[in-house]
């Protein structure tokens, strides 16, 4: 098992955040009650989500990624914090958010815009549908937009005799995306 300190990490927040004693509640219940002020971490109103993003985005940067995708509800704190952290790192952020809930241009949707995120509101409740949307309309669209450049280098990169496609399934498509990402890294290098 790897040690937490061995994992790639990019510092985004100001940690540790302070603890404050809640005097009146402590007095009322006869014991010390404290609150940890993770809203003071220095990124939007972050906290534990920023701690997680320090590791997730560090791994993405180590792999050469320049764009981050995530999903959630229209007013998702996770999505807003992902957009804030991506902006801080100079990464593009695409948010695929469920349309249900508060979708007026306020709250976290305003913050998403301020952080420069591309927001797409989807009429879907199932995360499986949203992940399929990510695959088809985000990843594969990029492949087709860059197809002439990609295909010319593709034949030089992969021995086509070992590739056989019998069915196009979602799991295969995920594997294809992995191949595509590795191939794009090859093209750029």
**Cβ-count burial of 141 within 10 angstroms (0-12 exposed, 13-18 middle, 19+ buried)?**
exposed
Exposed e or buried b per residue across 144-180, where buried means at least 16 C-beta atoms within 10 angstroms of its C-beta: eeeeeebeeebeeeeeeeeeeeeeeeeeebeebbeeb
Phi-psi map region of 116: left, alpha, beta (phi>0 left; psi -120 to 50 alpha): left
Q: Indicate if 76 belongs to the active site.
A: yes
76, 126, 152, 171: the active-site residue = 76
> Which are the catalytic amino acids?
76
């Amino acid at each position: 098992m790897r040690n937490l300190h061995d994992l790639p990490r990019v510092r985004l927040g100001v940690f540790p955040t302070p603890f404050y004693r809640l005097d009146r509640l402590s007095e009322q219940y006869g014991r010390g009650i404290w609150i940890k002020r993770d809203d003071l971490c220095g990124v939007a109103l972050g906290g534990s989500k920023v701690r997680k993003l320090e590791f997730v985005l560090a791994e993405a940067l180590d792999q050469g990624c320049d764009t981050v995708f995530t999903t959630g509800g229209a007013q998702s704190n996770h999505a807003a914090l992902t957009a804030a952290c991506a902006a801080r790192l100079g990464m593009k952020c695409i948010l695929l958010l469920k349309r249900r809930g508060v979708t007026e241009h306020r709250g976290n949707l305003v913050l998403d815009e301020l952080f420069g995120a591309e927001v797409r509101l989807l009429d879907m409740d199932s995360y499986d549908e949203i992940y399929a949307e990510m695959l088809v309309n985000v990843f594969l669209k990029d492949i087709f937009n860059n197809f002439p450049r990609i295909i010319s280098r593709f034949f030089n990169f992969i021995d086509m005799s070992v590739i056989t496609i019998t069915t196009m399934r979602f799991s295969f498509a995920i594997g294809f995306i992995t191949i595509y990402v590795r191939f794009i890294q090859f093209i750029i290098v």
